[in-house]
Structure 1
Amino acid sequence: MSIDPRSGFCMSNSVFYSKRKPIPLPSNEFLDVTTFISSRAHNGKIAFIDATTGNHLTFPEVWRAVESVAACLSEMGIRKGHVVLLLSPNSIFFPIICLSVMSLGAIITTTNPLNTTQEIGKQIADSKPVLAFTTQSLLPKISSANLPIVLIGEHDNSGSKAKFVSTLGDMMKKEPSRSRVRDRVNQDDTATLLYSSGTTGASKGVVSSHRNLIAMVQTVLGRFNLEDGEQNFICTVPMFHIYGLAAFATGLLASGSTIVVLSRFEMDEMLSAIGKYRATYLPLVPPILVALINNADVIKAKYDLGPLQSVLSGGAPLSKEVIEGFLAKYPTVRILQGYGLTETAGIGASTDSVDESRRYGTAGMLSPSMEAKIVEPETGAALPVNRTGELWLRGPTVMKGYFSNAEATTSTLDSEGWLRTGDLCYIDDDGFIFVVDRLKELIKYKGYQVPPAELEALLLTHPEITDAAVIPFPDEEVGQYPMAYIVRKAGMDLSEKGVMDFVARQVAPYKRIRRVAFVASIPKNPSGKILRKDLIKLATSKL
């Protein structure tokens, strides 16, 4: 098999191979991701710090708490294959819950605290959890589900009809039991069930195995050279997202690094935390990076950013202006980018140096042990370098499938393990991936993903709307926001505000419609699919 050393492309099978050093994977079949992470040797002292209060957990405290919580869960009857729901903002306790659940071979499913009761209800109905961990303030969002509840943090149980079974604080105090029943966990068993915004409306549960997460951990450790000593990471990313869960809540523990946790994203708190906790790594989404450039002089005068070595950007490729603008204002900080999907445990491609990031507009080179194909969407033919087609990925982090949704699984994963990403890309002569467009058309609002089909389905339930289409509208501050094209029923005088309010009442804030236009008809192709490209052109031609 001859592989071109420059691009990684192999002529004989039309596969692109990663140019990075393959990740070492454990050969023991009977291994869960919690045991894998906890058994890695390192010299780290403090695992998690709460940025607001300064409360922290040392590594011994984390692993003791994980043992205690797992023992309590086991006594409650939680077994391998059971699903446990976690509804919580980022906190230093979020990781303990995830690690405890996964150590038993049970499955963790997380959800965005901003989601509405209705949205969370759909996920509960689909994933069928047997227990939920949540905070007092978020309890009303799941109280109607009638699940047994473990409360996290401060609480007052008076007047609530919920079935409280314990508190996380009490569980963490328990002596870890010597004799509890342990199911044997295999690397192929399911570890996480995270919901990804589908393109066809309903979000789908992504089933990732212990093997997938172990490979994710190994990739992250290799990428940041964390074998050479500990670093301090600021966790700005939501832990309910795959990247937050697999890297910040769990994976980085394996290196002995310290994670400084922000319970919600707040610019001032994030910038203060860099100096206060000597943070070396800062993960961001592109709109925040732009804000750092635009306000650089004020920021540098007010905050100590001296310890910062790297910013990690994900969500969308960065332009030349943004990269050079950042490097000019912050010359001692390197800028690294990443590309991944929930379906690939957040792994796919990355730039691991400033030189690589200077391939402007790239998503990066293939992650270690990852293979890619560029496939012509119409014919299914695999294409060589510099040709645009759909990116397919195969590797150790690719999901097992979608939860109890065989149809969605077979349309996304083929029998050889190739995952169709829904992104139109090309790979250049040096093996850099460039994302040209999305086949899947998700709207990226501040790093959140908004499926247009979900909003369209909702709009069609309005009595005065005959047809609707939702498109991404470009915006410098947030990336993109949802814009709706509406066909009103004859004789109706529905207003733009009426449309926006109708949606705002039923969805999380990041999914709200922020611009409306009324049209006589929605352009569609012969098979009835909305021609979003035409609408995007129409919307942006007026800019």
Structure 2
Amino acid sequence: MTTPFYGKDGIYRSQKPPVVLPEDPNLSMVPFLFRNFPSLSQSTALIDAATAESFTFFDLLTQVSKLSHALLKLNINKNDVVLIFSPNSVLFPISFLAVVGIGAIATTVNPLYTINELSNQVNDSNPKLIITVNELHHKIKHFNLPCILLSPKGSFDAADSYSTLFCHYSDLINSTSPASSDSPWSSAVQTDVAALLYSSGTTGKSKGVVLTHRNFIATASMVTRDQECYGNSKNVYLCFLPMFHIFGLSVAVYAQLQKGNTVVVMERYEMEKALHAVEKYKVTHMYAVPPVVVALGKQKKVVSKYDCSSLREIACGAAPLGKDVIEECAKNFPQAVIVQGYGMTETCGIISREDVKTGPPHSGSTGVLVPGVECKILDVDTAEPLPPFQKGQILVRGQNMMQGYFKNQIATNETIDKQGWVHTGDLGYFDDKGLLYVVDRIKELIKYKGFQVAPAELEELLLTHPEISDAAVIPLPDAEAGEIPVAFVVRSSNSSLAEREVQNFVAKQVTPYKRLHRVIFSRSIPKSASGKILRRKLRQKAQSKL
């Protein structure tokens, strides 16, 4: 069976108009973002939702340029790694752009990480400098690395806490002269690495995903292609998605800024504050994750308190949404369309996206392939390509695909084959209209409220407990979170370890979203002959105990 989007070669292709990527290999991310600067200089680029502080594109260019020059003076050079450890703020994208602009490499970290979790990423990525805020300085001071503090000077002076160089963002900006004719961005090229964003990938512990300037430029062009096709301009995007994550950083921030849109920044999601921001700043587009869409659908009284008539689209990603949930949310936002998309850190954030102008609304699919992305659906057992309506593993290929995993060639080879196909570990199928449905995961990751939780990481931690002889972690369905981590634990002989003790042991060492919601004690962990945990049996056992 062949269709306009499915060829005899077994490859699915987008029917969207193609994107035209810059041919100049020296046009890196920051110059690409400001390529239309003369016509955008006085347009608003960033707004702080809480304080109403705003930056025009002229302000953005000035701040990024000044910080780039300051980084060079701090001896941050091409290919040096800079770690950004901060909650969302208008200074987050400025910091990111300044780092990648000079050819250095940005690695971002969840601000909720414990010192132990942060240490793993610091040891792996080996940063030369950390950009953070006062409230998080206690987590990084023992690394003895130079530091830039984004917090307002005077809110808390951390000088006595550092044995090495630290400085305030405001001092760096004020002491750097306005951008000169000498561009600080001349050294970066499209093939250079721009970011190391850590993901658990298809299996196992967190790994650094290597993304280039070309990857970000490609994703930005793919994400905003529909805006060009339909003549949409002067859009206002609300971003409460964490900017340390690829969804917030690449899709919600970089892609929209390079298109000339305004991004309203929230430090974190709170429903009423988000709705107030929609009303106050006339937000037209909002990116969200499933728990947000679920809550917006259930809280009609709260939603009705605010004027959300400006909102034209709510786009959801990170995990699949059911059709019923989408329809329930749509009732509270009759003027807006609710769409889904699909992406991974390994694809710089995008694979497919719904377009209600050409397809049915509330289909429950993740939409059609974005332009420039190819896809295969392979039979899990035979690895043969499958036609529409047959489920298999999703493989993708395109200019937005990662280069590999940092310092991990084995994991890279397991994920990217010799033809350049990225094996997503997800199970899905296409229908006869070219809509992609993601229905399950072959990989073992747990998706808790859109965050990735790797069972292997928690299992390794559990096994460090002196009274635990074996352990396995599985996901269980949850209406609010999507999935929750549940542990099966085998006690050591003569142990009387209790569930709460195990939960507290883990909670002290991990981010809140990785905490165990249940602990089930078992005499043994079922495994295959090769030693792999038989998680399906554990899921069945857990369901029988509910």
Q: Mark yes or no: TM-score above 0.5.
A: yes
Q: State the match for 1:283 in structure 2.
A: 287
What residue is the counterpart of 2:29 in the other structure? 33
d(CA) in 2 for partners of 1:446, 1:354: 29
Per mean C-alpha deviation after superposition, the further-off stretch among 312-321 and 346-355 is 346-355
1:97-143 Cα deviation digits (max 9, x unpaired): 11111111111110000111111111111111111111111111111
Contact 1:334 1:354 in 2 (8 A): no
2: CA distance, partners of 1:132 / 1:318: 36
How many pairs are equivalent? 538
Query: Given residue 350 of structure 2, which amino acid in structure 1 is its aligned partner?
Result: I
- Of 203, 219, 223, 2:206 maps to 203
SS at match of 2:377: strand
- What's 1:317 paired with? 320
Is 2:371 aligned against 1:368? yes
The answer to whether the aligner puts 1:428 opposite 2:431 as a matched pair is: yes
> Hey, what's the Cα distance between the residues in 2 that align with 1:406 and 1:327?
45
Structure 1 segment 246-325 matched on structure 2, within 5 A: 246-300=250-304, 302-325=305-328
Task: State whether residues 343 and 399 of structure 1, in contact with CA within 8 Å, keep that contact through their aligned partners in structure 2.
Answer: yes
Shift of 1:295: 1.3
Question: Which of 43, 47, 50 is the aligned partner of 2:48?
Answer: 50
Map Cα deviations across residues 61-113 of structure 1 (whole Å, 9 max, x no partner): 11011111111111222221111110000000111111111111111110000
Q: Percent identity?
A: 44
Shift of residue 227 of structure 1? 5.1
**Distance of 1:162 and 1:121 partners within structure 2:** 18
In the TM superposition, residue 211 of structure 1 has moved relative to its aligned partner by 0.7
1:134 paired residue number: 132
**Mapped contact 1:320–1:358 kept (Cα < 8 A):** no
Which residue of structure 2 lines up, in the alignment, with residue 231 of structure 1?
A: 235
Letter in 2 for 1:430: K
RMSD across aligned positions (CA) = 1.8
TM-superposed CA distance for 1:542, in Å, is 4.8
Q: Is the 8 A contact 1:233 1:280 kept in 2?
A: yes
Change over 3 Å in CA distance of 1:108–1:306 after alignment to 2: same
Q: Secondary structure at the match of 1:9?
A: coil
1: CA distance, partners of 2:315 / 2:449:
15
Q: Is the 2:339–2:362 contact (alpha carbons within 8 Å) kept by the matching residues of 1?
A: no
User: How far apart are residue 305 of structure 1 and its match?
Assistant: 1.3
Judge conservation of contact 1:372–1:391 (CA < 8 Å) in 2: yes
Could you list the structure 1 runs, at least 4 aligned residues long, displaced by more than 6 angstroms after superposition: none
Distance 1:397 1:139 in 2: 34
Query: Among 12, 27, 33, which residue is 1:16 paired with?
Result: 12
Task: Using the TM superposition, name which of 265-274 and 224-233 deviates more.
Answer: 224-233
Deviations 1:414-457 (A, max 9, x none): 12211000101112222111122111121111111111111111
- Once the two structures are superposed, what CA deviation does each residue of 1:283-320 show, in whole Å capped at 9, x if it has no partner? 111111111111113321x2121211110111222212
* Match of residue 101 from structure 2: 103
On the 8 A contact 1:47/1:59 being kept in 2, the answer is: yes
> Structure 1 stretches of 5 or more lacking a match?
none
Any gaps of 5 or more consecutive residues in structure 2? none
1:18·1:370 contact (CA, 8 Å) conserved in 2? yes
Q: Note the alpha carbon deviations across 1:2-61, whole angstroms, 9 max, x for none.
A: 9621xx1111x2111112111110100111111001113554611111111111111101
Q: How does 1:342-357 map to 2 (within 5 A)?
A: 342-353=345-356, 356=359
Whole-Å separation in 1 of the counterparts to 2:310 and 2:19: 29
Q: State whether residues 318 and 360 of structure 1, in contact with CA within 8 Å, keep that contact through their aligned partners in structure 2.
A: no
- 3-state SS, counterpart of residue 31 of structure 1: coil
Whether the 8 Å contact between 1:68 and 1:177 is mirrored in structure 2 is no
5 Å-filtered alignment, 1:87-486, equals 87-154=85-152, 155-173=156-174, 174-175=176-177, 176-179=179-182, 184-225=187-228, 228-300=232-304, 302-353=305-356, 356=359, 358=361, 360-486=363-489
Tell me the amino acid that sits aligned with residue 512 of structure 1: R
Cα deviation code 1:360-386 (max 9, x no counterpart): 331221111100111123332222222
> C-alpha separation between the residues in 2 aligned to 1:63 and 1:248?
19
Code of the aligned partner of 2:14: S
Secondary structure of 2:197's match?
strand
Kindly state the Cα deviation for residue 162 of structure 1 after the two structures are TM-superposed: 4.2
TM-score between the two structures when normalised by the length of structure 1: 0.95
* Segment drifting more, 512-521 vs 370-379: 370-379
Superposed displacement of residue 197, structure 1: 2.0
Contact 1:221–1:227 (Cα < 8 Å) also in 2? no
- In the alignment, the residues of structure 1 paired with residue 527 and residue 79 of structure 2 have an alpha-carbon distance, to the nearest angstrom, of 43
The letter for the 2-side match of 1:383 is L
Q: CA deviation at 1:200?
A: 4.0
Q: Secondary structure at the residue paired with 1:163?
A: coil
Shift of residue 541 of structure 1? 4.1
Write the distance in 2 (CA, Å) between the matches of 1:100 and 1:269.
29
CA distance in 2, matches of 1:92, 1:407: 38
1:218 Cα deviation (Å)?
A: 0.6
Q: CA deviation at 1:224?
A: 3.8
The one-letter code of the counterpart of 1:318 is: L
Equivalent AA in structure 1 for residue 526 of structure 2: P
Report the Cα offset of residue 183 of structure 1.
5.1
Q: Could you tell me whether the CA contact under 8 Å between 1:206 and 1:399 is conserved in 2?
A: yes
- 1-side partners of 2:410 and 2:462: how far apart? 26
